[in-house]
């Protein structure tokens, strides 16, 4: 019986030591694997950092000018789309709430900038008469779009085929 009691005491002492040793080995394996994967990924990131440094070396104005040329614009003579200036007005009720709308007009043929300005003024005047309850929810927004489209159709006499809502924010 003495041997079993001594064997259990030895097992109790080696249990925590074995656990600490295995935890240390697993930590080293995890750290080594993370270091290896980090070096693999860092090689792919370095060329992007070098390209960014080269674009900054070319000058701020040169990089922004090139980016403007690369980005296609929605409002061009060829597409017949005119983007109107943002409309920011307070609502009729409650008057503390503001609405900001950015709209683009799709012309049937060449765009007419004077007509676009008149339509901009019409939309601005209409948005001042709208209450928050009228434009709440998806159904209210659809009614707003329909009303604006109807006003544009009346003003343009068919020259504007579609009103494109780019942004719509109520604050």
Distance CA 88, CA 167 (A): 11
Is pLDDT of 45 > 90? no
Instruction: Give the C-alpha distances (Å, rounded to integers) separating 40 from 27, 31, 47, 49.
Output: 20, 14, 13, 15
Which residues lie across from 104 on neighbouring strands? 83, 164
Residues 146-167 as b/e (b if ≥16 CB within 10 A, e otherwise) read ebbeebbeeebeebbeebeeee
Question: 84: Cβ–Cβ under 8 A, 6 or more apart, which residues?
Answer: 102, 103, 104, 105, 116, 119, 120, 123
Question: 132: Cβ–Cβ under 8 A, 6 or more apart, which residues?
Answer: 91, 93, 94, 97, 170
Residue carrying the six token digits 């900054």:
56
Integer-rounded Cα Rg, in Å, for the chain is: 33
pTM above 0.95, yes or no: no
Q: Please report, rounded to a whole number, the percentage of residues in the chain having pLDDT higher than 70.
A: 71
pLDDT band for position 80 (50/70/90)? confident
Nearest Cα neighbor of 132 from 87, 98, 88 is 98
Is pLDDT of 4 > 50? yes
Is pLDDT of 65 > 90? no
């Amino acid at each position: 019986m003495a041997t079993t009691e001594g064997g259990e005491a030895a097992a109790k002492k080696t249990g925590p030591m074995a656990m600490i040793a295995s935890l240390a080995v697993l930590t080293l394996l995890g750290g080594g694997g993370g270091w290896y994967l980090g070096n693999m990924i860092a090689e792919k990131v370095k060329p992007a950092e070098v390209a960014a440094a080269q674009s900054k070396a070319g000058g701020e104005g040169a990089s922004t000018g090139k980016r403007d040329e690369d980005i296609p614009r929605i409002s061009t003579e060829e597409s017949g789309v005119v983007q109107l200036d943002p409309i920011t007005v307070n609502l009729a009720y409650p008057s503390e709430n503001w609405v900001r709308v950015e709209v683009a007009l799709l012309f049937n043929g060449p765009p007419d900038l004077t007509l676009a300005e008149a339509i901009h003024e019409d939309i601005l005047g209409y948005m001042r008469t709208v209450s928050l309850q009228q434009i709440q929810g998806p159904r209210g927004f659809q009614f707003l779009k329909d009303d604006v489209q109807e006003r544009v159709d009346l003003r343009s006499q068919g020259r504007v085929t579609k009103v494109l809502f780019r942004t719509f924010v109520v604050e």
